[in-house]
Amino acid sequence: MKILVINCGSSSFKYQLWDMQTHKVLCSGLVERIGDAVGRLIHKKNPDTEAERKTSEDGVFPDHTAGMMRVMALLTDPEAGALKELSEISACGHRVVQGGEEFTKSALITEEVLDNVRKLSPLAPLHNPACIQGIEVIMKILPDCPSVAVFDTEFHSSMPPRAYMYALPYEYYERNRIRRYGFHGTSHGYVAGKAAEFLGKAPEEVNVIVCHLGNGCSISAVRGGKCADTSMGLTPLAGVIMGTRCGDIDPAIPAYLGAQTGLSAARIDALLNRESGLKGICGLNDMRDIHAACAEGNAKAKLALDMFCYSIKKYIGAYYAVLGRVDALAFTAGIGENDNVTRATVCEGLEGLGIAVDTAANNVRSSDPRAISPKGAKVSVLVIPTNEELAIAQAAQRVLRELGKSL
């Protein structure tokens, strides 16, 4: 059984073709600069293996349909592809960023579902319209292939009201749907499940704090496999400090900034999303560049790293209190999986909570799930590589099975 996973942006999309028997990626790729004079397609067969075969081409992709048509041709190409016919694709799994309160689990896409996703666009104006476009294109090109929407927010739908409500006048929740939704849910759910598996326990038995640290960063408190709280909010701007996003700040700052500088609300929004975070402090947002700058004695880079780790530590403390008992602290995504310095700094001084890092284990580079805490530690500190695409493919498979669709 083969499932095509689509992650669509406004002028680009990524795709992966999964073999669900072997859990291997058969082909993957990226189409970018859709709508520009010259677009670019990078396609890989057997990615990240010794047999990898990479095709990259410049082309004109006036819209997503044109890009997707080219991908379909590559997927069935005798050299570059992995399919004889497109009908071998059993289903498509689409990443959809905002599912609102309407979608607490992945859903088979029907006209009604698509209409409801459209209605959620005001809550995610940059993301949901792009996701919808991807769904519409696939429905046009592969009309007989079932499509499943997998929402970034769905894992967080188990949060209780005390965690998701903001202390604003209640009518803004009712009328404007202002509440915490949380994001990166596919990753948090996948990593919490893998952490339980690593400990040899069922997800229901395990409490985990998951630190997803990539360009975007979010922390979640997972009790018995269900999300109890998460750091991102109405939008992915909230929570810990990120590459270019400020994370939690005094909510009075935007109005104060506007009054002081005359900047418009839209300009301030862009400033908080794209010019703040690590980049705002030291001008760099890639953690590897920040380490290089720290090594050269750059004081602002050191401050940015220090602030970043401190903001994560504070969430770990908060979520320890939320959960009461913590079995595992799991690091994932680009920084979480690769950066031993961040992991060690975040955990420094938490021995009183039973959280500690074994330096030798922490310094090992590997792409396998692993423990980096000392043997017998009260809390297992783990590094768990995330795999949002596999989680999306599995969710799509689950939805179709539940609906009794034979694949």
Q: Please report the beta strands in 342-389, taking only residues with DSSP state E, as ranges in sequence order.
A: 370-371, 380-383
Decide whether 286 or 358 has the Cβ nearer to ligand ADP: 286
Q: Please report the beta strands in 154-215, taking only residues with DSSP state E, as ranges in sequence order.
A: 207-213
Rounded to whole angstroms, the Cα distance separating 345 from 359 reads: 11
Q: Single out the residue of 144, 149, 122, 129 nearest to residue 64, CA to CA.
A: 129
Q: Does 389 bind ligand ADP (CB under 6 A)?
A: no
Least distance to ligand ADP, CB of residue 386, Å? 8
Least distance to ligand ADP, CB of residue 245, Å? 11
Least distance to ligand ADP, CB of residue 338, Å? 3
Q: Does 339 bind ligand ADP (CB under 6 A)?
A: yes
Rounded to whole angstroms, the Cα distance separating 64 from 21 reads: 29
Rounded to whole angstroms, the Cα distance separating 368 from 75 reads: 29
Residues 236-275 that bind ligand ADP (CB under 6 A): 243
Least distance to ligand ADP, CB of residue 341, Å? 8
Least distance to ligand ADP, CB of residue 14, Å? 10
- Give the CA radius of gyration of the chain: 22
In which residue are the tokens 């079995």 written?
A: 327
Catalytic residue among 19, 115, 152, 289, which? 152
* Pair of tokens at residue 275: 């010019």
Amino acid letter for position 375: K
Decide whether 229 or 339 has the Cβ nearer to ligand ADP: 339
Stretch that binds ligand ADP, among 116-124, 161-169, 286-294, 303-311 (CB under 6 A): 286-294
Q: Tell which one of 55, 215, 244, 273 touches ligand ADP (CB under 6 A).
A: 215
Q: Tell which one of 124, 192, 282, 287 touches ligand ADP (CB under 6 A).
A: 287
Give the helix, strand, coil percentages of the chain, each rounded to 5. Answer: 40, 20, 40
Residues in the interface with ligand ADP (CB under 6 A) total 12
Decide whether 146 or 189 has the Cβ nearer to ligand ADP: 189
Q: Tell which one of 335, 344, 357, 371 touches ligand ADP (CB under 6 A).
A: 335
Least distance to ligand ADP, CB of residue 342, Å? 7
Stretch that binds ligand ADP, among 42-50, 53-61, 318-326, 335-343 (CB under 6 A): 335-343
The single-letter DSSP state of residue 129 is: H
Q: Is 339 among the residues known to form the active site?
A: no
Answer for the pair 55, 74: CB distance below 8 angstroms, yes or no: yes
Q: Does 333 bind ligand ADP (CB under 6 A)?
A: yes
* Pair of tokens at residue 44: 């890989």
Q: Does 32 bind ligand ADP (CB under 6 A)?
A: no
Residue 352's region, left for phi above 0, alpha for psi from -120 to 50, else beta, is alpha
Decide whether 241 or 333 has the Cβ nearer to ligand ADP: 333
Decide whether 89 or 219 has the Cβ nearer to ligand ADP: 219
Distances (CA, A) of 93 to 30, 131, 135, 138, 150: 16, 11, 9, 10, 7
The single-letter DSSP state of residue 79 is: T
Q: Tell which one of 29, 81, 216, 277 touches ligand ADP (CB under 6 A).
A: 216
Least distance to ligand ADP, CB of residue 405, Å? 31
Answer for the pair 390, 23: CB distance below 8 angstroms, yes or no: yes
Q: Does 214 bind ligand ADP (CB under 6 A)?
A: yes
Decide whether 20 or 341 has the Cβ nearer to ligand ADP: 341
**Residue, CB closest to ligand ADP:** 334
Least distance to ligand ADP, CB of residue 93, Å? 17
Stretch that binds ligand ADP, among 54-62, 159-167, 260-268, 283-291 (CB under 6 A): 283-291
Decide whether 209 or 211 has the Cβ nearer to ligand ADP: 211
For 1-23, letters b (16+ CB in 10 Å) and e give ebbbbbbbbebbbbbbbbebeee
Residues 6+ positions from 262 with CB-CB distance below 8 Å: none
DSSP 257-314: HHHHH---HHHHHHHHHHS-HHHHHHS--SHHHHHHHHHTT-HHHHHHHHHHHHHHHH
Answer for the pair 225, 231: CB distance below 8 angstroms, yes or no: no
- The residues annotated with a catalytic role in the active site are 152
Residues near ligand ADP (CB under 6 A):
214-216, 243, 286-288, 333-335, 338-339
